[in-house]
Structure 1
Amino acid sequence: MADRDTAQDTGGQRLSTREAADRLGVKPETVYAYVSRGQLTSRREPGARGSTFDAKEVDALARRAGRREASASGNELAVRTGITLIDRDHCYFRGVDSSELATHYSYEEVAEWLWTGELRPGIRFTAPPDALSAAHHAVQALPAHSGPMDRLRVAAIAAAAADPLRFDLSEDTVVGTARNLIPTLVDALPSHNPSQGTAGPLATRLWSRLTAEAADPAALRALDAALLLLIDHDLAASTLAVRVAASARAHPYAIVSAGFGALDGVLHGAASGLAHRMLVEARDQGSAAAVVADHLRTGRRVPGLGHPLYPGEDPRARTLFRLLEDVPRARSALQAARQVVATTARHTELHANVDLALAVLTVSTGMPVEAGETIFAIARTAGWIAHALEEYAEPPLRMRPSGHYHGPRPPQPLP
C-alpha cells in the first residue's frame, strides 16, 4: 500500500510538499520558492490539500543542487548515499546485510558488486605489471623501519604515476582502476612467502604479507570476511575525506591517498592496534581482569569496546567472532577478548566492536600489531572507490562548507 501522504497517478509518483522538502533537504517554504523560480512544477489535485510534485523532477533538482543536508541533530553534514545503511545493530551494503554477504561471498565479489551492481562469482583482481613494478621499487626504497601504512601510501602514489589514464573519471575506467589498484597495494607489500606469488584470492596473498605462519582454510575465511565487513561504514572520517577529494575531481589514486591520510590515526584505522596490544598482555598474564583494571584505574578507554553507531554489539564483530570460533589457534585470544568484555561489563555496559574481533584475528595468527590497520586500509579502499563513483556523478566542488570566522575583526594593524 502506498504511503497515504504520497499521491500516485499514471504520470508517475507524486510527492507532498513535506516529502519534496525532505528529499531536497530544505524547508517547505523553500520548495515553493523553487516553484516561483521555475525550478519545480507543482500541481493541486481536485479535492486534495496542498500541492504535489513529480518525484523525478524533485530528484533531478536535488542532484543539480548537489544536495547537502542537515542531519537529524541539525549540526552535522549529511550526504545522500546508496552504499551503506547502519540501522538497529545491522550494517547493510546496498540494502543487503553485510554479515549475510560475508557468509556467502568473497571480498572481491562484493567489491565488484558494489561498484557495478553485478555479482561475478569467483572474480579475482590482478595487478598490472607496470603498476606493480613501480610500486615495488617505491616500497623497497623506503627505510627499513617503515610501517605498512607508509608502504601503502607510497605504493598508491607510484601506481598512479604508472597509469597515464588516471585522470579519466568515466565510470568504466574508475572501476578498472580499482580492480588494478587494490591488488597492487597488496602485492607491493613484502611477503613472508615469496613463492606465493601474485595469483589466487586476494585474502590468500594478503595473508603471506601479514604473517609467516601457515594459513588454514578457516583462518583465511576469517581474513576474507574481515576484509568484506570493513569495505564501508557510512561516512567515517576517511570516507568523508575521500568524498571531498572526489568532489574536487581528484583521480582515484588521489582519493585513496586522501583516505589513507585520514585513516592513519589511533581513533580510526589504527584502533585495532591498541586492542591487539591489550589482548597480548591479557593472554600473557593469563587473565584480562588486571589489564582492564589498569585501563580503568588510569582513566584510559578500554580498546575494542563500544561504538557510537551501535547500542549493542557491533554486527561486524559478532560475525568475525563466529568465524574465529572455527580457528583452533584463536581459542586463547577469543577467551581473552570475552574476559575483557565481561570484566568491563561490571563497570559499564559496553559491547565488543570490530577492532576487538580484528585483534583476535591478528594476535592468534602471529600477525604484527599494525596488521589490523593494514587489513582495514586494504578493505576500505573498495568502499572509497564506491563513494568516489557516487561523488563523481554529483556537481563538482559541492563539499564546500562555510567557515565561521572567530578571529579579530578587521581592520587590524600590520603585525
Structure 2
Amino acid sequence: MTDQDQGADGERLTTREAAERLGVKPETVYAYVSRGQLGSRRDPGGRGSTFDAEEVDALVRRGRRQAAGGDGTPVIRTGITLIETDRYYFRGVDATELARRYRYEEIADWLWTGTLERGIRFTAPSEPLAAARRAVEALPAHSGSTDRLRVAAIAAAAADPLRFDLGPSAVTGVGRALVPTLVDALPAVGTARRGESRLAARLWSRLTARDPDETSLGALDMALSLLIDHDLAASTLAVRVAASARAHPYAVVSAGLGALDGPLHGAASGLAHRMLTEVLERGSAAPVVADHLRAGRRVPGLGHRLYPVRDPRAEALFDALAEIPDARPALAAAREVETTAGRQTDLHANVDLALATLSVSAGMAAEAGETVFAIARTAGWIAHALEEYEERPLRMRPSGRYTGPRPPRPAP
C-alpha cells in the first residue's frame, strides 16, 4: 500500500486486498457494493476501485459473509420452520397436517424437545400465576390483551428465581409453565368446564362467554397449532435478538410481545374482524370492500407476501370452521370478501381473515385473534430461543452506517 493509498480519510484497500480481508472472491466484493453494504471509490490512478479499510473490517466483524442473503437481507439459520410455495413445515413435517392430527401442547412440546408426547398438558405454577394475575388485575380496565400478556410475562418472571438458567431442559420447563400462565392470567369472560385442562378450553373462556362444543374447541386448538411459528416474522426476529444477548426466556417472550403489538403484525386480525362484522350487518361484502378501496386502504385479511397463491393456514382453519353451524354466516362473509376483492386483485384469504371468521362466529371481541396469535406464537418463540442459545452470544449485533455530519463539530 503506497502513501497515496493512505489518505487523510484512512487506509484504502484494493479490490484484491478487500476480498482477502473479507474471505470472499473479488466479484463478491462488488456484490456487497451493489447491495449497499460496502462503499467504494474509483482509484485516481485508474487501477480500479478502492475500499475503506475500517468499513471492510466492520463488515468482517458483522459476519455478513456468512449471513447475507441474495438481496442483502440478513439470514439466520433455523431448523424450525420451512416456508415453500403455498406450504409450510415444522421440522420438515407439514404444519397443517400436524394441526389436524395433534393438539397445540403436543406440537409445541415436540417442537422444543423432538419427542411427541400424546396427551401432554401444560400447567401454570401457582406462585408465578398468582403474581401474573395480580399484575394483570392492577391494569386499567381499558388495557388490551397484549398489554395484559406483557405484564403477565414480566410478573411471572419476577416470581421465578431460576429464570436465568438457560439450559435446554430449564428453558423447555419455562415454556410449559409460561404458556398456561399467560392464558390463566387473562380475565375470564365465560365459565370454563369443570376439570377441563386443555389449553384451548381454558383460553376459550377468556375470549367469549359462549359455551363451546367440541368442534369449536377443535377449531380454536387448530388455530393455535397453525400459528405456533412462521419463520422469522418481526416478533420472532426480536426474540432471536434478545436470546442472542442471553436474555432469559420470559424476557425473550416479552420482546416478542412488544414487537407483536402493532397493526402490521399481531393486530391484523382485528381489522378483519371489524370488516366481517360490517359485512354481516350490511348484508353484502360489495359496499364494504368498495369503502376500503375508495379510502385507499387495503382490504384486511387478503394476501401474504410469502404465499403467492393461498395461505395454507387460512385454508386449514376455514376447513375446520366449515364443520361448525354457527360459523357458516361469518365463513360465507369471508368468502364473499375474497371473491369481491378478487375481481380487482389476485389476493386470497390469509390467516388473519380466518382468525377473524373464528372470532366473529364465536362472539369474541375484535382483539381475540391477536390474543390467539400471541399465545400460539409463544411456543415458537421458545423454540427460537432454544436455537439461539446454542449460537455465539451477541451475534445479532449489526453495525450502523453513520450518515450524520462528520466530526469535529462545535457543541450546540
TM range, normalised to the smaller chain?
0.7 to 0.9
Unaligned runs of at least 5 residues, structure 2 = 1-21, 28-62
Q: What's the secondary structure of 2:230's corresponding residue?
A: coil
What percentage of aligned pairs have identical amino acids?
A: 68
Residues 11-410 of structure 1 aligned to structure 2 (within 5 Å):
27=24, 68-73=66-71, 75-194=72-191, 196=193, 199-410=196-407
> In 1, distance between residues paired with 2:345 and 2:198?
41
Distance 1:308 1:120, change over 3 A: same
User: By how many angstroms is 1:69 displaced?
Assistant: 1.4
> In 2, distance between residues paired with 1:107 and 1:329?
23
* Corresponding letter in the other structure for 1:410: P
Distance 1:399 1:296, change over 3 A: same
* Corresponding letter in the other structure for 1:70: A
Distance 1:124 1:67, change over 3 A: farther
> In 2, distance between residues paired with 1:164 and 1:197?
32
Q: How many residues align?
A: 357
User: By how many angstroms is 1:66 displaced?
Assistant: 10
* Corresponding letter in the other structure for 1:368: A
Q: What's the secondary structure of 1:326's corresponding residue?
A: coil
> In 2, distance between residues paired with 1:222 and 1:285?
27
Contact 2:110 2:116 in 1 (8 A): yes
User: By how many angstroms is 1:143 displaced?
Assistant: 1.1
> In 2, distance between residues paired with 1:192 and 1:260?
22
> In 2, distance between residues paired with 1:107 and 1:128?
19
Contact 2:192 2:201 in 1 (8 A): no
> In 1, distance between residues paired with 2:25 and 2:227?
38
> In 2, distance between residues paired with 1:373 and 1:334?
19
Q: What's the secondary structure of 1:77's corresponding residue?
A: coil
User: By how many angstroms is 1:26 displaced?
Assistant: 7.2
User: By how many angstroms is 1:193 displaced?
Assistant: 3.4
Name 2:41's counterpart in structure 1. none
Contact 1:68 1:77 in 2 (8 A): no
Distance 1:114 1:67, change over 3 A: farther
> In 1, distance between residues paired with 2:321 and 2:193?
24
> In 1, distance between residues paired with 2:204 and 2:95?
22
Q: What's the secondary structure of 1:91's corresponding residue?
A: strand
User: By how many angstroms is 1:27 displaced?
Assistant: 3.9
Distance 1:327 1:68, change over 3 A: farther
User: By how many angstroms is 1:28 displaced?
Assistant: 6.0
> In 2, distance between residues paired with 1:194 and 1:131?
22
User: By how many angstroms is 1:204 displaced?
Assistant: 0.3
Deviations 1:232-286 (A, max 9, x none): 0000000000000000000000000000000000000000000000000001000
> In 1, distance between residues paired with 2:223 and 2:374?
11
After superposing the two structures, state which structure 1 stretch, 145-154 or 223-232, moved more.
Answer: 145-154
Q: What's the secondary structure of 2:124's corresponding residue?
A: coil
Contact 2:190 2:211 in 1 (8 A): no
Deviations 1:49-96 (A, max 9, x none): xxxxxxxxxxxxxxxx798511122x2111000000000110100000
Name 2:42's counterpart in structure 1. none
Contact 2:145 2:371 in 1 (8 A): yes
User: By how many angstroms is 1:145 displaced?
Assistant: 1.3
Deviations 1:156-199 (A, max 9, x none): 01100000100000000000011000000000011123554684
Contact 2:64 2:74 in 1 (8 A): no
> In 2, distance between residues paired with 1:310 and 1:27?
33
Runs of 4+ in 1 over 6 A off after TM superposition: none
Unaligned runs of at least 5 residues, structure 1 = 1-24, 31-64
> In 1, distance between residues paired with 2:212 and 2:266?
24
